[in-house]
Amino acid sequence: MQYFFYGTMKDAEVFAVVAGRPLSADGCDAATLAGYRLARVRDECYPCLAPSAGGETDGLVVSDLSQGEIDRINFFEGNDYCPETVAVTLTASRQAVAATTFLNSSSVDAEETAWRYAEWRVSAEKERFLRLAHAWMAIHGRYPPDDPALDGIWRAMLAADARAQSK
């Protein structure tokens, strides 16, 4: 099964935290998804896909994922993102392939502001995101992915991180 990652998950450090292993160059290919743009999620430091006529989103197709890694990724994405099969175009070969990606649910509020990976990866937002990703993945396996308590746990993690950074 192939996955298309378009935001924070195409970052090698984030991928390693979430999947539990390094991102392998052998198992990934640059690709684009047509019909969407990357938008910033309101009040968050990560993106979502927003439908956009003529839009195109760059990402990575990762094809060497185990079921355990897929389970970790599904937990990480949570209830706000739904796995969906989409057609993406591999950059090198221009070949269209099917891949699973995470489309945001209606509960995700996309801003008009574009989210840019190149800017995010060298920002303090990435550092914050990595701290939160480590904390979030530390509870993987303790709760079912659809447990309603996870929303409260996430909000508590955000608040604790904000308090720690303000000291």
- Kindly report the number of other CB atoms within 10 A of residue 100's CB atom: 19
Residue 144: per-residue pLDDT:
86
pLDDT tens readout for residues 120-129? 999 999 999 9
**Hey, what domains does the chain have and what are their CATH numbers?**
3-166 (3.10.490.10)
Predicted TM-score (pTM) of this structure: 0.92
For the chain, what percentages of helix, strand and coil (3-state, to nearest 5) are there? 40, 35, 25
First to last CA, the chain: 44
CA distance 31 to 8: 15
pLDDT for 111 beyond 90: no
